[in-house]
Amino acid sequence: MSIGLIALLDDVTALAKVAAASLDDVAAQAAKAGTKAAGVVIDDAAVTPRYVTGFAAERELPIVGKIAVGSLKNKLIFLLPIALALSYFAPWAITPLLMLGGLYLSYEGAEKVYEALFPHKAHAHEEEIGKAVNAKTLEDRKVTSAIKTDFILSAEIMAITLSGLEVGGFWTQVAVLALVGIGITAVVYGSVAIIVKADDVGVALAGNQSESIFGSPLRGIGRGLVVGMPFFLKALTVVGTAAMIWVGGGIIVHGLEGYGAPWIGHTIEHLAEVAAHAVPVLTSAVHWIVSATGAGIVGLVTGGALIPVIGYVVAPAWKRLNGLFA
C-alpha cells in the first residue's frame, strides 16, 4: 500500500473520529437542553388534545397530523432560523417577543375560563372574533388556533434550548435545535394521538370474543377505557387551559424581571420557598405548585384584561382592515 493512501486513510479516520465526537456532543447537548424544556413539553402535550375534542372519531388523527406538521414547520422553518438570527444579531429582541407570546397564551387561556363562566357572553365574543378572522370551517379554525398556540410554546422550547447550549459552532447549534425540535414534536403529538384514540382502542378491547385467560381482563380494560376516557379528556382540557395560563404568566413574570419589575417573580419565589419548607416531605412538588399558581394568577389577570381589548379594539380594527382590502 502506498504512503499516500496510508496518509489518506489516516486523514479519513481522524475526520471520522471528529465527526463521531461532534455527533456525541450534539446528542448530549440535545438531551440536556430537551430536559430543561420538559416543563413546556408537558404543557404542550396537555394543551393540544383540547383542540381535537368534539370532532368525529375519523377526524381526530388527521387533525393531530395537521397540527404536528404545523408544529414541525414552526420549529424548523420559522423558529430555528429566527432563534439563531436573533441570538447573533438582536439578542435584546428575544425577551419582548417571548413576552408577546406570553400575552397571547394568557389571553387564550383566560378566554376559555371566561367561556366556562359566562358561556353566552363568551359565545358572542367568539363569534365577533370569528367574523374578524373569517375562518372557513370549525376544523380549520381549531387547527389554525392550535398551530398558533404551538408556535408560542415551540418558541419557548427553542429559546430554552438555545439558552442551554454550551459553547459550540454554528452548525452544532443548528443540529441541536433541529434534533430537539423533531424529538419533542414526535413525543408530544405521538402522545396526543395515543390519548385521543384510546377510547377506540377501548371499544376494540371490550368487544373482543377471546376465550383465553387474557380475554376477560382485556375486556375489562377496554370497558374501563371507554368509560374513563371522556372524563380524562375533559380533565385534560382543564389542565391544558391551566397550562396556557401558567406558561403565559410565567413568560410575562420572567420578562418583567429584565424590565425593572423583579418583585413579582421574587414574591412568587419567596412564597414557593416558604410553602416548600413548611412541607418538607413534598418540597419540590409544593414549590412547583405554588410557583405555577403564582404564574397562573399573573396570566389570568393579564389575559382577562386583554379580553375586552381584543373584543372591542383589536377585532373591530381587524374587521375594518379586512374590509378595506376585500
Side chain identity at 318, as an amino acid letter? W
- Each domain of the chain, given as residue ranges in start order, spans 3-325
pLDDT at 94: 81
Distance in angstroms (rounded) separating the CA atoms of residues 171 and 159: 17
Can you read off the three cell numbers belonging to residue 169? Answer: 459552532
What's at 289, amino acid-wise? I
What was the pLDDT predicted at 21? 45
DSSP string, 11-53: HHHHHHHHHHHHHHHHHHHHHHHHHHTHHHHHHHHHHGGGGTT
Mean pLDDT of the chain: 78
Banded pLDDT at 179 (limits 50, 70, 90): confident
- Dist CA 200 CA 189 (whole Å): 17
pLDDT band at 203 (very low <50, low <70, confident <90, very high): confident
Q: What is the DSSP string of 101-131?
A: HHHHHHHHHHHHHHHHHSHHHHHHHHHHHHH
- Compute the average pLDDT of residues 4-26: 46
Least confident of 8-12, 80-84, 205-209, 226-230: 8-12
Whether the pLDDT of residue 19 is over 90: the answer is no
